[in-house]
């Protein structure tokens, strides 16, 4: 499954996957508001056009590297176990773990 996921991802995918492991931004300026990685704040954080960001997030979700979860108010993304394994392998190959 990991090899299948690797066939369909590139540098932008890895950048987004790594971003999703960092602390998510707050969804509003109100104290105690939820923090989550939504499509909009992922796009802003990686400085990619929104349509391209959606394609990257869709591809990562389809490959099982991230999970799309929904609440009543918004959808957000988290790294799956498979995605975490991929990042761990990449870090080991880079010698950064």
Give me the residue spans of the domains in the chain. 2-20+35-94
Assess whether pLDDT exceeds 90 at residue 76. yes
Whether the predicted pLDDT of 3 surpasses 80: no
Q: What is the pLDDT of residues 15-69, one digit of tens each?
A: 999 999 999 999 888 887 889 999 999 999 998 899 999 999 999 999 899 999 9
pLDDT of the residue at 30: 83
* Confidence grade of residue 96 (pLDDT, cut at 50, 70, 90): low
CATH architecture of 2-20+35-94: Orthogonal Bundle (1.10)
CA distances from 62 to 4, 35, 40, 97 (A): 11, 24, 19, 27
Find residue 76's DSSP bridge partners: 69
Q: What span, in angstroms and rounded, lies between the C-alpha atoms of 59 and 63? A: 6
Give the β-pairing of 66-70 and 75-79. Answer: antiparallel
Burial class of 66 by CB neighbour count within 10 A (0 to 12, 13 to 18, 19+): buried
pLDDT category of residue 97 using cuts at 50, 70 and 90: low
């Amino acid at each position: 499954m990991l090899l299948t996921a690797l066939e369909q991802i590139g540098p932008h995918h890895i950048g987004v996957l790594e971003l999703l492991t960092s602390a998510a931004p707050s969804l509003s300026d109100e104290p105690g508001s939820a923090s989550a990685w939504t499509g909009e704040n992922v796009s802003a954080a990686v400085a990619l056009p929104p349509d391209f960001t959606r394609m990257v997030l869709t591809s990562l979700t389809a490959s099982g590297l991230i999970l799309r979860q929904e609440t009543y108010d918004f959808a957000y993304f988290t790294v799956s176990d498979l995605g975490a394994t991929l990042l761990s392998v990449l870090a080991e190959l880079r010698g950064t773990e």
